[in-house]
Amino acid sequence: MITVVGIGADGWPGLPERHRATVRGAEVLLGGARHLALVPDAAGQERVAWPSPLRAGLPELLERYAGRAVVALASGDPLLSGVGTTLAEVAGADAVRVEPAVSSVALAGARMGWPTESLVVVSAVARDVRRVLRELAPGRRVLVLSSDATTPADLAALLAMSGWGASTLTVLGDLGAADESRVEGTAAAWADEPPAFPRLNVVALDARADAPVVVSWAAGLPDDAFEHDGQLTKRDVRAAALARLAPAPGALLWDVGAGAGSVGIEWMRAHPACRTVAVEVDATRAARVRRNAGRLGVPDLRVVTGAAPAALAALGDLERPDAVFVGGGATRDGVLDACRAALVPGGRLVVHGVTIETEALLAACHAEHGGELVRLSVETATPIGGFRGFTPARAVTQWSWTRPATSSEETP
């Protein structure tokens, strides 16, 4: 059993006696150099700094001290973007007991006078700060957990170039310590000349837009929200596809033949725990998918440059998808069979086609496997001389299929 004790910026004086006794009683005390320096020496106690890289070095470290009384120090709440989460993932939740201190989120909310239910928390600790963009809406309150002293300036620059320069940023440094600090400004003012910030900080963001911005989480963002070369699943048929793919928290989507990445990006915008792997054979388009994902607040979207079905084989060995969207390449030999086989029971497959050959393939799949086969035709009003008329877009044939929860189908 590893006990993880949360310690605040006020150090040893801020620990309750029960937690002090736990720390004093440890045979082995683990922690970062800063945390270890906050507690007094204990006779016979071995002190060990975290390995670097942390996750890769933990199994050997924990095996070395197996059977001994091990205590680890962590900041505030160890399960809030902290080492407690990593230890539980590596050693197993049953092997870790957490004794939290007051979290930085609780302290920041208290300093700002923001009720917890009125705010959202985004971690930039060892993560891409562009994740903040998904959470923004005028008047929304966001607490950003900073990775280091550079995060507030990076955040200000990001907001300023994304249409959120009017947002107010309050940097709360060394929360809970005697020298706690507070600096306030706007993203636009800090974008070019940010002040100096403490290494330990939380940024309280009050979002204010100074330009038209994309804020909706509903399926079917405007087509011009995406950079593209024409290979884009258009707004109305994209919304229809996402309705059938049915994103849910934690679910994994394969976006095969991703093009501009619009379906996979909107899947991830549906919930912060949704995940996407986009598969695109063209390297230029693959790079474009990455840019679109970052600009729309889901930089963690994974892009695999390669052709299906070969590119799907390795993915299936890692984790089977909950849903698969095939926006291009459906007629390539083995692609649809590989996608159907990869799905978890109850998983959803949606395939789009615009050519006669793809339409014939989808009709055959529908006849053999069932599901739903629809043709989507969208017409848009455009000028005709001094009048207006409807101009049809290319019709899209859509086949959607759900793998039975208890399937009699054999893996192809």
Query: What residue type is 234 in one-letter code?
Result: K
pLDDT digits (tens, 9 = 90+) for 36-49: 999 999 999 999 99
pLDDT at 316 > cutoff 80: no
Confidence category of residue 313, pLDDT binned at 50, 70, 90? confident
Res 411 pLDDT > 70: no
Q: What is the phi/psi pair of residue 396, to 5°?
A: -115, 125
* pLDDT score, position 412: 40
**Complete domains list, the chain, with CATH:** 2-102 (3.40.1010.10), 105-206 (3.30.950.10), 223-402 (3.40.50.150)
The proportion of the chain whose per-residue pLDDT surpasses 70, expressed as a percent, equals: 99
Cα–Cα distances (Å) from 120 to 132, 136, 142, 204, 372, in that order, read 10, 10, 5, 10, 38
Residue that the structure tokens 């998808």 belong to: 321
- Flag whether pLDDT at 140 surpasses 70: yes
Q: In 3-state terms, the chain is what percent helix, strand and coil (to 5)?
A: 35, 25, 40
211: helix, coil or strand?
coil
Q: Has residue 350 got a pLDDT over 80? A: yes
Q: Fill in the DSSP letter of residue 306.
A: S
* Spatial distance between the Cα atoms of 90 and 174, rounded to a whole number of angstroms: 29
φ, ψ of residue 89 to 5 degrees: the values are -70, -40
Compute how many other C-beta atoms are within 10 angstroms of the C-beta atom of residue 266: 30
Given this model, what pLDDT does residue 405 score?
87
Could you read off the pLDDT of 370-397 as tens digits, one per residue? 999 999 999 999 999 999 999 999 999 9
Measured CA to CA, the distance from residue 274 to residue 345 in angstroms comes to 18
pTM for the whole structure = 0.91
58 neighbors 92 (Cβ within 8 angstroms): no
Q: Sheet harboring 46-49: ordered strands across?
A: 46-49, 28-31, 70-75, 2-7, 96-99
Mean pLDDT estimate for the chain: 95
pLDDT range class, residue 409, cuts 50, 70, 90: low
Work out the number of other CB atoms within 10 angstroms of the CB of residue 104: 26
pLDDT of amino acid 109: 97
